[in-house]
Structure 1
């Protein structure tokens, strides 16, 4: 499945090694290579026409069988769109667990890299966070597994 949509919403300037180092310093974690590979192709933006989802076996506030993954935040401060660098502020604003790196969300719900088990230099798992319900759902043991599990959202009702 193709990953990036052709739109420009949320797209940041091309990723540089300096931007990665700065982001890891701000976030206090090592970002997974699977994430950096995607961001080197396009630094954030909409995912395949914003119709992508990850199947789940436990119901969430979003749906009984999937969670959305319509975009991926990039690294950078451009254009007023949220970026990975907004994670520290958003974690505080929405009273989310930490340390995490938010990948996609709307404030109420998020898909995030979860560093609580692996530590700042480990390979984070991927988790669904629901700020309103104060709940979370593990999605995948790592980002590559999560990405491999994405499907077109039209597979769900």
Structure 2
């Protein structure tokens, strides 16, 4: 990973609890996927929240920008339904239906209009996609979550 894992996270605004093996197992069963090891490593440091502010350089233009997509937050795994959070990958099924997203997506970040997802449509090893619901974009970002993380740069590069 190009970015130091210990320098990745910023605020855990929703106070997600620390990640446990049971939470991972529950998430993988509910989502019917095997989550990438690097994602689990990051969530073991902090179970979702805001990042220090990163972006992934893009060759293809998106509705976000001509040359990058943002990663200012990364969703965690929250199995306790009493915890209110907008940063939970377990909301993927509900949000997929609500926003008319393609099937077999695990949402990593987004606001409803756009998403960065783990795309399991073609393989049990997911690629990373940019999906803008309103504009009909479904754009390849990276071949794997590891490639995505290795490609991240500070968002300041694009100011």
RMSD, aligned CA: 1.1
Distance in structure 1 (CA, Å) of the matches to 2:12 and 2:40: 19
Distance in structure 2 (CA, Å) of the matches to 1:22 and 1:128: 26
Distance in structure 2 (CA, Å) of the matches to 1:11 and 1:59: 34
CA drift at 1:155: 0.9
Alignment partner, residue 93 of structure 1: 98
CA drift at 1:8: 2.3
TM-score, length-scaled by structure 1: 0.92
Out of 21, 34, 37, the position equivalent to 1:33 is 37
Conserved? CA contact 1:11–1:44, under 8 Å: no
Distance in structure 2 (CA, Å) of the matches to 1:11 and 1:84: 15
Out of 6, 19, 30, the position equivalent to 1:15 is 19
Out of 113, 134, 137, the position equivalent to 1:135 is 137
TM-score, length-scaled by structure 2: 0.91
Alignment partner, residue 50 of structure 2: 46
Q: For 1:5-62, what per-residue CA distance to the aligned partner results, in whole angstroms no more than 9, with x for missing partners?
A: 1x221441111111111111111111111110111111001010xx211100111111
Q: Which runs of 4+ in 1 moved over 4 A?
A: none
Alignment partner, residue 111 of structure 1: 116
Q: How many residue pairs were aligned?
A: 151
For structure 2, list consecutive stretches of 5 or more residues without a partner in the other structure: none
Alignment partner, residue 87 of structure 2: 82
For structure 1, list consecutive stretches of 5 or more residues without a partner in the other structure: none
